[in-house]
């Protein structure tokens, strides 16, 4: 199980770089991320090397942040790998709220980071079907 940091950030020039600069200055590595925006604000979702410290650093800088459990499922780097994961979830009647990509720095394999309603139960389902969770 992974912890994701979600940051509510103003959609303006330099905001994302300010966040990445804060993380760089505090030696916190971004392992995977996705951004969703609207006209004025956006949500930056990240899996980082030190989630608790990231919350403190960004919170102290005035950003609204929260921590959420997400799944990291390692997939083979081949056609249809994500489809196999999603098919297993569909067959178990599980909805995926969102998904984004990272990679395992040790194996070099893709990691699908996903958010579902009950991350612990979904993790157990996927492990029982032969998938590797991080």
CA distance 95 to 31: 24
Question: Of 45, 68, 91, at which residue does a domain stop?
Answer: 68
* 2-10 and 110-116 beta bridge pairing: unpaired
The structure tokens listed for 57 are: 């650093």
State whether 6 and 64 are in the same domain.
Answer: yes
Question: Of 68, 87, 109, at which residue does a domain stop?
Answer: 68
State whether 63 and 76 are in the same domain.
Answer: no
Report which of 108, 42, 31, 29 is spatially closest to residue 70, judged by C-alpha positions. 31
Number of domains forming the structure of the chain: 2
| 47-100 tens-digit pLDDT | 999 999 999 999 999 999 999 999 999 998 999 999 999 999 999 999 999 999
Report which of 45, 69, 71 is spatially closest to residue 58, judged by C-alpha positions. 45
Half-sphere exposure of 76 (CA within 13 A, CB side): 7
Domain that holds residue 86: 70-133
Instruction: State pTM to two decimals.
Output: 0.88
| 16-49 tens-digit pLDDT | 999 999 999 999 999 999 998 777 889 999 999 9
State whether 109 and 56 are in the same domain.
Answer: no
State whether 47 and 58 are in the same domain.
Answer: yes
Domain CATH number, residue 86 = 3.30.70.260
State whether 15 and 54 are in the same domain.
Answer: yes
């Amino acid at each position: 199980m992974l912890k994701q940091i979600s940051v509510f950030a103003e959609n303006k020039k330099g905001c994302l770089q300010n966040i990445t600069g804060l993380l760089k200055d505090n030696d916190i590595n971004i392992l995977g991320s996705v951004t969703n925006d609207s006209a004025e604000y956006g949500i930056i979702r990240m899996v980082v090397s030190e989630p608790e410290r990231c919350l403190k650093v960004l919170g102290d800088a005035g950003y609204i942040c929260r921590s959420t459990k997400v799944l990291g499922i390692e997939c083979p780097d081949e056609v249809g790998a994500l489809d196999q994961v999603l098919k297993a979830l569909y067959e178990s009647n599980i909805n995926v709220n969102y998904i984004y990509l990272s990679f395992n720095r040790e194996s070099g394999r893709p990691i699908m980071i996903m958010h579902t309603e009950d991350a612990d139960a979904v993790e157990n389902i996927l492990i029982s079907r032969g998938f590797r969770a991080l």
